[in-house]
Every structure is written in structure tokens, then in C-alpha cells.
Structure 1
Amino acid sequence: MIKSDYTGQYPVEAVTIEKFAELIGKPETAVRKMITNNKLPVVELTDPEAAAARVGERWVVISEFNCIVREAYFNRPAKERGAWLKWLGL
């Protein structure tokens, strides 16, 4: 999961595919595949001067990704969520 302090470091809601891959430690090809399979929240940026262009750059929306990850985490059973605390001896 992307740490919340990235908000200060990257004060934008979305980043390029390359930057997102770097942030989550995945290859760029994996992130592109996730986008193709509609598994990541993206926004497509196009040049308004080039209306004929079909797709411009795709950027991953960090804030929405964080919300989805947070929701997935808290929808897990409490026993599974706290397993890492037990592993740490807490």
C-alpha cells in the first residue's frame, strides 16, 4: 500500500504508469496489464488540440487506489488483519 506521506511528496491525485509501478514495486508491464484488465483506477489525459487521437497518457489515481486498498484490508476478517501484530509479538 502506498504510504500517506506520498501525498506531501506527490501533491497530485494521479501519477504516470511508470511512477506508480515504482511506488508499488511492480514492473511497468504488470501495471499496464492491471490497467488493461480494469484493475486500477485510471484517468486518460488527451491533448485537446489533437481531437483525433484516441488515447493519450493514462495516469493511475493514487487517492482512489489507496481507498480501495484500505477497504479491501478492513473487509478481511479481524483475525487475518491482526495476524502481522501476532507475528511481531504484539
Structure 2
Amino acid sequence: MTAANAGEWALVRDHLHDLVQGGLTPLSGGRLLRASSERLGDPAALRELVRWAAMLETWIPTDVTPTSFCEDQLLQQARVLLAGTWPPRDG
């Protein structure tokens, strides 16, 4: 792992923690995490979280899935990632 990747993973962990603790809204936290995922080359470990973040960010009033469901899924994924090994392993 490069120093840049290590720093980006540390930033991801900080964002996840802030998201779970309520310091970031799901929308703003999701945006930050999507950007970090892109910089890390779209790791498989973040794909589910990024998928929910994207759904939340592109939500429109006619969507069938409510924003609260997307937010809950994003928070659940954040908790799963924080509870696992760090940085998360792909695969």
C-alpha cells in the first residue's frame, strides 16, 4: 500500500466514523466517501456503500425508494466497514 493510499484509507475511516456518529449527514458523508473511493480506484470493499451514496445523491421525488431507506443502508454499510479489518480487504 502506498503512503497516498494509506492516507486516503485513513480519511475514509474518519468519514465513516463521522457519518455513524452524526457529524456528517448521509448525503454529505456519501459524497465524501464516493470521492475517496474514486481516488482509491473503486475498491470492491466500498462498492456497496458507494452504491447507496449514489442512490441518495441522485434521488428525485418520484423515486420509489425513500431517502430514509438509502440513508439507513448507507449507515449500515458504514458500521459494517468500521467493525471489520482495516483497511477493508477486497474479495
Structure-1-length-normalised TM-score: 0.35
Between structures 1 and 2, the one with greater helix share:
2
**Relative contact order (alpha carbons < 8 A, sep ≥ 6): 1 or 2 greater?**
2
Which of these two proteins has the greater Rg computed from alpha carbons? 1
TM-score w.r.t. the length of structure 2 is 0.34
- Higher strand share goes to which structure? 1
